[in-house]
Structure 1
Amino acid sequence: MNLRTLLTLTAFLLCDAKLPGLKQNIPPNELPSNPTQNAQALRLLQFGSKNEKTKRIADQYAVRHRREVFDSKSYESSLIWAHSERLDENGDVVLRWVNSDSSITFRLEAKTRGYVGLGFNSARNMRGADLVVAWVDDRNGNAQVLDCHGPEFEDRAVADEVQNYELISGYQNDTHTTVEFRRQLDTCDRQDFVIGEDTTQVLWSLGPNGSDGELPKHVKSGSRPLRLLQPLSKPDDSSLMQWDVRLNGLNIPHVMATLFWCKIFKAPDLPKKHHMVGYEPIIDSRPIKNGRPVLEKDSLSPVHHMVLYECADDPDVYVWNEWAKGDGFYGPNRPPEWSICVTPVAAWAMGSKGEFLPENVGIPIGKRGGATFYMLEVHYDNQALHEVLDSSGIRIHYTPQLRAHDAALLGAGIGISALHVIPPKQRHYRTVGICGSECTNTMIPDEGITIVSVLLHAHGTAKKISLKHVRGNEELPRVSEENSYDVRYQQSRIVPGGRKFYKGDTLITECTYDSTSRDKSILGGYSAMQEMCLSFVLYYPRTQLAGCYSMTPAKEFFETFGVKEFYGVNMMQVENIFLSSSYVEYPNLPTDNQRKESEETGMQGDDQGVGFMKELVIKEPPEFRNKTFLAHLNEMPWSEPLLTEQIEKTLYRGMHMTFCKKSDDSWGAPVQIQNYPNFTELTNNDTAEKSCHYKSVRLPSVTKANSATKISMTWSVILAASMQLLIIAR
């Protein structure tokens, strides 16, 4: 007993009160000792016990996890931060970072004089998250970081058994706290998040002023999806020039929930071949209030995604010049001549900052090497039915300094139509689009192409997307994949080292959806309430291949759902309707009557056959007779897993109609119906297995602690070990 008392008192003297003992009234989110280290402590903390034993356990934790502190006045970071992001709308929390092959270093700048919390998770909450809490002591200016995690079923922070974050420096002024720290990408600690190529939900929170070492309820918090491992965002090139391809004051009617707008642009008149090397979005959306557009800092833009297409040559230059002077057209009502604008050169979606191409590739621009005319297609998702004046578009960066290779973009995946169905109430439902060997045999050169980056695109219910590569009867490692897809953050992904793709190879775009929040089936289409499954593939050398898609043949599709015949139309006619544009429900902007009817729900514009599905009335079999197909689809017993699994398997592994489009809108290969390719699937996509023993991975120190601190740390370790033995002995 005397020894225990002596050790405890010594611990108080050495601790410096960086994490104070539990107080009389425990705030809801105050940091307890790690419950996995002592079950009795967990019981005491859960019931809010306020006795000496609880205080002793907290003090033991403070000694055991005490870390070196640094004098920020004598230390300045020499790192060059490769990336910088505002985590909140106001810029009160700014995260900067740079990574190596094995570790990542952060600089967190927050508008608080209390603690600041940073977290990493696959979900947008603290449950199961990897958390780090940092603060600067108000008394001595010393900084501290604490490695924590969120329990699986609680939104609170619990200290980790092993501390894997290393403090570099930290300081605070009258308004802000700034802390730098680092960690391994994979700490081999089960309580830490493995930082990899997938999108990460980056959590943040700010504590009230004076909350040094305590975790009372935060005053602000939020999350932002980010990919932390990505190349530098913009090259340092003084030769870069800009070309703004943007709309000019398009009035988005408040009855259009989904709107596609297309406009033709003429490329800059360049004396010689130039290369487009990057692009970034220009978002300029102004809500119309009281008849006038207004600038609002926090107003959300309805721009969902934008694609810039290169138009094939047309001898009638005069009419194209006239179109370039005009305002554009509602998507389904655009002139048929625009069908030659099918080769994408830039694809932007929500959350993306744009893309700068690898240093060895560029996309030719202008008539000397590329195209003269381009078509901008803007998709507006206006489910809130606001009236908006929009002048958004894409800023193209180009240069006369030519890169080594001429590159191009290829669109692949599932053809956008209502024949793409995701049943409701499913946690993991897969669909697939095929770019088949018949197309690549015809369109890919003998020496092959090299894939350098991929933009994976779907809508809100998608959770995973992968681009698979099949050669012969074997699947190769994935070209690109996203296992934590977030529609709010769609950034292109560099393929490290490039991927060689040869004649006869197959690309398969696979999407996995979580439709548990939906009560009715989700159909493919352009609306944000519908779904897509696409890959935009950047490659070199450029070819005439613009698109390579597939969809389920109509007959097989409807038979999968038990339907054999409709009134007034046969299956071949139905298929032809889906392959044409005649199923578009609203070929023009809404009339006054349509506006009146749509005030509440809004029209979905180019619905890709959803309206046609509502009109198809079933004739056979008798048990479904006189129902529309959409009604039949929504009445199916989707809670029966055997039914859903069979439908998924039939549509995934069954027949696929493949399309191979050239840049002039002609067929690169005949439309074909083929079986799903037969190949040996990849069982593990990791290039190498990592052996982890789930313990601390210590980082080499980047600071110099004074001798007093070293002595203090040594005694802390000895005391911590002694206390742990005493606890075990009890």
Structure 2
Amino acid sequence: MALLIFSALLLLSLVVPGQQFELSFSTVMDNDGNVVLKWGFNQYDEQITFQLQMNSQGWVGFGLSPNGGMKGADIVIGGVHPNKTTYFSDYHGIGNTAPVRDTLQNYQLLLLTENGTSTTMRFSRAFRTCDSNDMNITAGTIRVIAAYGADDTIAYHRENHFTQSINLLRELPVAGLSSPKDSVSYNITMNNYTVPAQPTTYGCAFVPLPNVNGKHHIYKIEPLIQAGNELLVHHILLYACPNNTNISIAPGECYNTNPLFFQCLQVINVWAVGGKAFQFPDNVGLSIGSPDDPSYARLEIHYNNPEAKNFTDSSGVQLYYTKDLRPYNAGILEIGSALSFLFIPPSARSFRLYGLCNTQKFPEVNGQQVADMQVFAYQLHTHLAGRAVRVAHYRNGSQIGFLGRDMTYDFNFQEVKYLENITTIKMGDALQVECTYNTMDRRGITEMGLGTMNEMCMAFLFYYPKNNVSHCLSSPSATDIMNALHVSNPKDVNSVEWDENKINLLQQTIQEGKQDINITNSQIHLFMPGSFVTDTGYLYNITEGANATCNNATFSSLAATSAPNSSMTPAMNEPNLNNNGSGSLRGSVILINLALFLFQAALGASLRPPNRSP
């Protein structure tokens, strides 16, 4: 009897159609809340489930796009006909026209309903299918598109479409994310700061941190962008100040000749375009209130003002803190390329710059031994020409993984991401940031610098326990670059006639040359004795892991036989009983019937009275 019940339950567990997970994540893709996407995934099985809800009674579409448009997009379209029959198929985009139905149907429909106002479509697929018309779902930025039609005639959507960059495979920290009951909020903002009428301004102000009695932990930081200035505020940084900082200077431009703003170097918050609030895992927070903690911070806001108009701003951040202490104090380490004599040539399709960090001198900079650094989150940063960023991690000269990676980087979507697993940096490890740029639309060199049309290459690593190292930045030899290009003055690089050979020569010079490294102590004012230590090194090769095997499961498309106003809807197909997926309707029915038979047999056996001797 027990065996029969076990067999029945096992069969029932096999017939749940598709991979359905808790839809832990959601986003609203329009301004009115009418297009809602939810999703959840299983890393072990490499399956993901989506649910799209739209205020539409016509067809609804969902897609993954290489650039946010239709061309090359991986699309599913479904809907409910007036006669309540449904249709659903896997397509691919070829441009601003109706999509083409895929030969291989790799999406599985789980739910498709329509009420008086909206349509809900739930479906699943593997991270990597074996269809060249499908996009792989990987960690990092993915452009998600959605669209709908006024009726069930599938055609090019024109106006009714939405695009959003999303990190679909986002991780949640193992330690959890919870809000303490005694949470207190505290705002740090500019106070009607007058932004000069110029394209780029870095505005700075010294601001007090919360005045608390005893040690507390900041556990969440949220951006506060003044209404109307959303397109002008490029990034917001908050730097902790040593307690002997001279804060007498009034708000002004950060990087002018006045050195007072250089006193504060330890990043304690980073926000950039597209980012949202960041919450620390439950086992770590930013310490305030103890004798060693800062009392003031430097608020830095980068204003991107291409029209050079006059405006004022009161943007900033909101801190959430608690007296319920966490086990560890958080730190943020900035690594990448220094803003030195470095540039990207024009008409380069894929040019790479680097930042190297050797941690072997961290104890010297810190003033004492440095505990292993447990990295739990990261943020990557370039400007408009950036296309990909990755942070490779080395130990004993060999690459052991990545501390951050986004091969489809989007300047307009810069958020802090949690690592899948907490990763340990041991003293002596090396870290290397690689940024890939595309300057095919530019006719002059792109210099590393502060402006949005300049470039940067950096990563911010969130870790515990905190130490005093704030930056670890590097730059290639300016002499090597000038010698390779046969120029005697840095300004002469502007007159170089760039072609593919010169671009490759510069790339080779950077990759093979020496890197000069600067490691900074956050507790000593910059340019004061002991504020930084120098080092040198050479770049490492970066390797990717082997590509995962694709999943060749296919499913039948679903279409109603009576679809008079859906000329592009595929014909009705029988369920594919020979595919490798779990979506076979006929097979599911057979298994369910068998399971019920076994369960009834087991139940009957349990209720049958025992045999008795006459």
TM-score, with structure 2 as normaliser = 0.80
Match of 2:553 in 1: 696
Aligned to 2:566: none
Q: Say yes or no: does 1:336 pair with 2:266.
A: no
- 1:378 positional shift: 0.2
Which deviations, in whole Å up to 9, do the C-alpha atoms of 1:550-599 show, x marking residues without a partner? 123443343333223x5xxxxxxxxxxxxxxxxxxxxxxxxxxxxxxxxx
1:683 aligns with 2:613: no
- Residue 424, structure 1, aligned to residue 346, structure 2: yes
* Greater mean alpha carbon deviation, residues 450-459 or residues 429-438: 429-438
1:81–1:683: structure 2 CA closer, same or farther, 3 Å change rule? Answer: closer
The partner residue of 2:533 within 661, 670, 684 is 670
Any conservation in 1 of the 2:99–2:156 contact (CA below 8 Å)?
no
RMSD of aligned Cα (Å): 2.9
Name the residue aligned to 1:191. 133
What is the count of residue pairs matched by the alignment? 535
| Gap runs ≥5 in structure 2 | 1-16, 557-570, 578-614
Q: Is the 8 A contact 1:164 1:697 kept in 2?
A: yes
Range with bigger deviation, 190-199 or 178-187: 178-187
Indicate the residue corresponding to 1:207 in structure 2. Answer: 149
Does residue 1:161 correspond to 2:83, yes or no?
no
Q: Which residue is 1:650 aligned to? A: 509
Give the 3-state SS of the residue equivalent to 1:510 in structure 2: strand
How far 1:448 sits from its partner (Å)? 2.0
Q: Are positions 1:231 and 2:171 aligned together?
A: yes
**Match for residue 637 of structure 1?**
497
Aligned to 1:398: 321
Structure 1 unaligned residues grouped into runs of 5+: 1-69, 71-77, 288-299, 567-612, 614-628, 700-711, 719-730
Question: Quick one: distance in 2 between partners of 1:159 and 1:222?
Answer: 21
Greater helix percent: which structure? 1
Partner Cα distance (2:146, 2:87) in 1: 17
Counterpart AA for 2:194: N
Structure 1 match to 2:608: none
Deviation per CA, 1:251-293: give whole Å up to 9, x if none: 334x311111011111112122111222121111437xxxxxx
**Aligned-partner SS, 1:424:** coil
**What displacement does 1:441 show?**
5.4
**Cα offset, 1:231, TM superposition:** 3.1
Number of the residue aligned with 1:307: 237
Cα–Cα, structure 1 residues 477 and 248, in superposed 2: closer, same or farther, change >3 Å?
same
Is contact 1:416-1:532 (8 Å) kept?
Answer: yes
- Quickly say closer, same or farther: Cα 1:457–1:303, change in 2 above 3 A: same
Match runs of 1:315-714 below 5 Å? 320=247, 328-333=251-256, 335-368=258-291, 370-417=293-340, 419-440=341-362, 442-443=364-365, 445=369, 447-564=371-488, 629=491, 632-639=492-499, 641-663=500-522, 664-665=524-525, 667=530, 670-672=533-535, 674-677=536-539, 681-686=541-546, 690-692=548-550, 695-696=552-553
- 1:179 corresponds to 2:37: no
TM-score, normalised via structure 1 length: 0.68
Instruction: Provide the rounded CA distance (Å) in 2 between the counterparts of 1:456 and 1:404.
Output: 27
Whether the aligned pair in 1 keeps the contact of 2:371 and 2:465 (CA below 8 Å) is: no
Q: Answer whether contact 1:270 1:368 (CA < 8 A) is retained.
A: no
Q: 1:671 to 1:216 in 2, by over 3 A?
A: closer
Offset, 1:461: 0.5
Alpha-carbon separation, structure 2, partners of 1:301 and 1:182: 35
Distance change (3 Å), C-alpha of 1:95 and 1:271: same
Letter in 1 for 2:548: K
Shift of 1:443: 4.4
Residues 84, 387 of structure 1: alpha-carbon distance in 2 compared, 3 angstrom cutoff: farther
Could you tell me which residue of structure 1 aligns to residue 6 of structure 2? Answer: none
Which residue identity is paired with 1:685? G
Q: 1:244 aligns with which of 184, 187, 192?
A: 187
User: What is the aligned partner in structure 2 of residue 12 from structure 1?
Assistant: none
Give, in angstroms, the shift of residue 684 of structure 1.
2.9
Deviation at 1:510, TM superposition (A): 0.9
Provide the C-alpha distance between the structure 2 equivalents of 1:511 and 1:388, rounded to a whole number of angstroms.
Answer: 33
What residue number does 1:125 align with?
Answer: 69
Instruction: Quote the offset at 1:338 in angstroms.
Output: 3.2
Tell me by how many angstroms 1:493 deviates: 2.2
Q: 1:329 to 1:120 in 2, by over 3 A?
A: same
1:626 corresponds to: none
**Which secondary structure does the structure 2 equivalent of 1:286 belong to?**
coil
State the percentage of identical aligned residues.
26
- The code of the aligned residue for 2:74 comes to D
| Aligned-partner Cα distance in 2 for 1:174–1:220 | 19
Write the letter of the residue equivalent to 1:532.
M
Q: 2:219 corresponds to which residue? A: 277
Tell me which of 68, 91, 105 is aligned to 2:49: 105
Task: Provide the residue aligned with 2:600 in structure 1.
Answer: none
Distance 1:698 1:236 in 2: 43
Amino acid at match of 2:165: P
Partner of 1:149: 92
| Residue 668 (structure 1) shift | 5.7
Given that 1:162 and 1:695 are in contact with CA atoms closer than 8 Å, whether structure 2 keeps it comes out as no
Deviation at 1:216, TM superposition (A): 4.7
Higher relative contact order (CA 8 A, sep 6+): 2
Are the aligned partners of 1:478 and 1:685 in contact in 2 as well (CA < 8 Å)? no
Shift of 1:331: 1.5
The 10-residue stretch of structure 1 (273-282 or 235-244) with the greater mean CA deviation from structure 2:
235-244
How far apart in 1 are the matches of 2:346 and 2:218? 42
Task: Identify if the C-alpha distance between structure 1 residues 434 and 474 changes in structure 2 by more than 3 Å, giving closer, same or farther.
Answer: same
SS at match of 2:432: strand
Query: Residue 161 of structure 2 aligns with which residue?
Result: 221
Deviation at 1:541, TM superposition (A): 1.1
Cα 1:261–1:177 change in 2 (3 A) is same
1:74-115, CA deviations, whole angstroms, 9 ceiling, x for partnerless residues? xxxx97542222223443422122222222222212232221
SS at match of 1:377: strand
Q: Which letter does structure 2 place at the counterpart of 1:256?
A: Q
Offset of residue 520 of structure 1: 0.7
